[in-house]
Structure 1
Amino acid sequence: MTEIVLFHSVLGLRPGVLETAEQWRAAGHAVHVPDLYGGAVFDGYDEAFEFLDKYGGQGELLRRTDAAVDGVRPGVVYAGYSNGVISVVHLVTSRPGALGALSFHGSVPVRAVGAELWPSSVPVQVHEAELDPFREDDANREFAETVSASGASYHYYGYPGVSAHLFADSSLTSEYDRQAAETMHGRALEFIAACEDRGR
């Protein structure tokens, strides 16, 4: 069993994220799914980013991230959907003991959370739609270079022909791509299993 903390996207704790958590629990893992928005959930990105700005932006997001893992033991895998990757990068670079990092729907440079280095002991898996409208190649490249320079394992998976951002969120009918999502979750479960082996 691996302990995992899964962070939601800018759209809030949607049912699709909870479904991912249930899939991982069914595979025998313990999964924490913090609600950093206090129940607020959105269907559109504009209103979600407006909400994020009003409640304090990234600074408040990271404060709530730290509060969410207070009491969670070291030796966990951090995972995040889209904007939740910011929480993942923050915790891996500021909280010792992570077993791995799963970055769904993009990645961010470590400097985005005020860090400089990536721990050499924390492997990374990044998943992103090839035609993601929010894709930032420079950010992806910088993150990849930082992780690789540390000596940590880094794997990037692009999903050819997929144009939706949150393609793995089954509750977003306009974006969900079942085949890509199933492939992503299969790869993620293999990664989690490998992290579990390393943590023994």
Structure 2
Amino acid sequence: MATVVLFHSALGLRPAVHDFADALRAAGHEVHTPDYYDGETFETVEEGVVKRDALGVEEMTRRAGAAVEGLPADLVYAGFSLGAACAQVLAQTRPGARGVVLMHGCLPPAAVGAPWPAGLPVEIHTHEADPWCDAAEAREVAAETGGAAHLYPGETHLFADADLPDHDPEAAALMLARVTALLDRVGRA
């Protein structure tokens, strides 16, 4: 069993995040879903980005860190889009991470200001033509970290959210299967 902290996208803690967490729980993993938007949710990424910008990067980083206070160090950090940035920052800066799953977004490791932890498994999941996540950058991050970039055919962003027009059920199901397999591997390690 792995213990996962699953960070939401700029749209907030929507039902799709709970659904993904529930699927991971059904596979035997413990999953925490912090809400760093104070209960606010949005219908478009652009609306959510206004909230993100109002909070600022420093406050977002503080809120993500506060969400894991009191949790063990050996977490798997996962996130959707904006939440992927939160997951990556914590995986790179909080010692003890067992894995990181970056869905619909990733940062160059150098942007975090801390080295990539040796041997830390990472998976990046995005559509090939995602307008918010550059596939070439995802490949570069995977190559730099020794991880895997899973690029799915398509051109939408939050394809795992069944309530959005971006939804791609086939890609979402395959991503869930791959994430579950990663959690199964690192949970036994």
**TM-score scaled to structure 1, two decimals?**
0.90
Q: Please give the root-mean-square deviation of Cα atoms over the aligned residues, in Å.
A: 1.3
1:137/1:175 Cα in 2 relative to 1: closer, same or farther (>3 Å)?
Answer: closer
Q: Which residue of 2 aligns with 1:156?
A: 149
CA-to-partner distance for each residue in 1:89-125, whole Å, 9 max, x for gaps? 111111111110111112111233322x101131011
- In structure 1, the partner of 2:110 is 111
User: Quick check: 1:100–1:123 contact (8 Å CA) kept in 2?
Assistant: yes
Mapped to 2, the partners of 1:97 and 1:131 lie a distance apart of: 33
Amino acid corresponding to residue 119 of structure 1 in structure 2: P
Greater shift in the superposed pair: 10-19 or 139-148? 139-148
Query: 1: distance between equivalents of 2:143 and 2:28?
Result: 33
Deviations 1:127-164 (A, max 9, x none): 1101211132453244234313xxxxx1111111x111
**For residue 179 of structure 2, what is the aligned residue in structure 1?**
188
Distance 2:29 2:61 in 1: 25
Deviation at 1:47, TM superposition (A): 1.5
1:191 alignment partner, SS class: helix
Paired with 1:142 and 1:181, the residues of 2 have a C-alpha distance of 23
Structure 1 residue 96 corresponds to structure 2 residue 95: yes
Q: Deviation per CA, 1:154-186, whole angstroms, max 9, x where unpaired?
A: 1111111x11100011222x1111111001100
Residues paired across the two proteins, number:
189
Q: In the aligned structure 1, how far is the partner of 2:47 from the partner of 2:124?
A: 26
What does residue 137 of structure 2 align with? Answer: 139
Amino acid at match of 1:41: T
Q: Output the amino acid matched with 1:79.
A: A
The alignment's TM-score, normalised by the length of structure 2, stands at 0.95
Contact kept, 8 Å, 1:86 with 1:113, in 2: the verdict is no
Give the fraction of aligned pairs with identical amino acids, expressed as a percent.
41
Aligned in 2, Cα 1:145/1:183: closer, same or farther, shift over 3 Å? closer
Q: Structure 1: how far apart are the matches of 2:84 and 2:106?
A: 6
